[in-house]
Amino acid sequence: MDISSILQGGYQHPVSRAWQSPRQLTKSMLMYPIFITDDPDAAEEMTTLPGQRRWGINKLEGFIGPLMKKGLKSVILFGVPMKAQKDPKGTLADDPNGPVILAIKKLRSLFPDLFIACDVCLCEYTSHGHCGILHEDGTINTPPSVERIAEVAVNYARAGAHCVAPSDMMDGRIKFIKQGLMDASLANKCTLMAYSAKFASALYGPFRDAVMSAPSFGDRKCYQLPPAAKGLARRAILRDAAEGADIIMVKPSLPYLDIIADAAQLAPDHPTACYQVSGEFAMVHAGARAGVYDLKTMAFETVNSMVRAGAGIILTYFTPDFLDWLDE
Ligand code: PBG
Ligand code: ZN
């Protein structure tokens, strides 16, 4: 055998195996998506997202406190109005007494060290369930959509969000949000994380069940990217970086590792984030339940693949598990 054939000497021990990963998963890379509803005492389990709940703001201390002790650094908030009436403009999104604004304020006062991001979109709040404002024929009306989305983002920043993360995929919204933050003198106080390459995926089902945001007609294919569209994804990444994004995100993650690698290469001076979405989380759980693999081993394999592709920030429902597993 040739000398150059021998690789195994380099990874024969757990310590030398770790040295073969230039970057390793750490707790500070994890951002935990949490759902806040308008019943202040809620702690409702969601069958499609194992272990995740819709929380009321009175439950946040008991829910987040123990995670902070384990090393939680950041969360991203999703509002889930259950009682209030939705309208075509998504007025509830930035309701000063709505779950997201109240949760930002509560979390800031309870946990001064926690980094609080907010998903910005209209679909959880619109009567039609689409992510923007519509023309009469049901197509997206872009100018009022980006204006409304920027208004919501600025109101989250005003309430104290450290980061706003628009997931709507309307053209031009990054620039509008950045300008809105500048006009409100908040551009230096709030990070803008763009869901830049967000694909029209089959993997959002459990999330849409959880927050009841499925569109009442049609689909999201005219704003979320076609799954095979590498070129469009690359253009969206470059566009959002040029429009003022501070962080570039790719979503979903596992079927889009090439796009994560593209983002890291196209915007090398921006942090690269990826979202291990609800369907990916449910899939890892379902496979483990079916005996296909061990849950923890597979969870690490998926997230390590994202780190390997170039992600430095990972949004995942496995965050509480990783906070335990990374201590073992
Ligand atoms: C809303 C939004 C979605 C997700 C994050 N923000 C759903 C969608 O676009 O339909 C998906 C998150 C997940 O599946 O975990 N625009
Ligand atoms: Zn949406």
pLDDT at 43 over 90: yes
Percent of the chain surpassing pLDDT 70: 100
Ion ligand 2: protein residues whose beta carbon lies under 5 Å: 121, 123, 131
Which is nearest to 168 in space by CA: 187, 194, 186?
A: 194
Residue 27 annotated in active site: no
Which of 173, 273, 168 lies closest to 223, judged by CA? 168
Q: Is 37 a residue whose pLDDT tops 90?
A: yes
In the predicted model, what is the mean pLDDT of residues 216-234? 96
- Residue 121 assigned ligand-binding role: yes
- pLDDT at residue 22, rounded to an integer: 87
Q: Which of 59, 69, 198, 230 is catalytic?
A: 198
**What's the pLDDT at 74?**
98
**164: enclosing H helix or E strand:** strand 163-166
Mean pLDDT across the stretch 301-313?
98
Q: What is the pLDDT of residue 212?
A: 86
Helical ranges in 132-277 per DSSP H? 142-159, 173-183, 205-211, 230-242, 257-266
**Tens of pLDDT, residues 188-208:** 999 999 999 999 999 999 999
123 is in an annotated binding site: yes
Over 90: is that where the pLDDT of 82 sits? yes
CB 246 within 8 A of CB 193: yes
Which residues sit with their C-beta closer than 6 Å to ligand 1?
119, 121, 123, 131, 167-168, 204, 207-208, 277-278
Would you say the pTM of this structure is higher than 0.95? yes
Is 108 annotated as belonging to a binding site? no
**CA of 100: how far to CAs of 128, 159, 164, 302, in Å?**
20, 9, 12, 30
Q: From the CA of 264, how far away is ligand 2's center (Å)?
A: 25
Question: Taking a C-beta distance cutoff of 8 angstroms, is the pair 317, 49 a contact?
Answer: yes
Q: Is the dihedral of CA 201, 204, 205, 208 positive or negative?
A: negative
Average pLDDT (47-73) is 97
What is the torsional sign of CA 48, 219, 200, 195? Answer: negative
The yes-or-no answer on residue 106 being catalytic is: no
How high is the mean pLDDT of the chain? 97
In this predicted structure, the answer to whether residue 12 has a pLDDT above a threshold of 90 is yes
Please name each of the domains of the chain with its CATH number.
25-242 (3.20.20.70)
In three state form, how does the secondary structure of 60-114 look?
Answer: HHHHHHHHHHCCCCEEEEEEECCCCCCECCCHHHHCCCCHHHHHHHHHHHHCCCC
Helix (H) and strand (E) counts in the chain: 11, 10
Q: Write down how long the chain is.
A: 328
Percentage of the chain beyond pLDDT 90 is: 96
Strand, helix or coil at 134?
strand
Q: 3-class SS at 198? A: strand
Question: In ligand 1, which atom is closest to the CA atom of 121?
Answer: 16
Cα torsion for 112, 114, 117, 118, to the nearest 10°? Answer: -70
Q: How far apart are CA 68 and CA 17, in angstroms?
A: 30
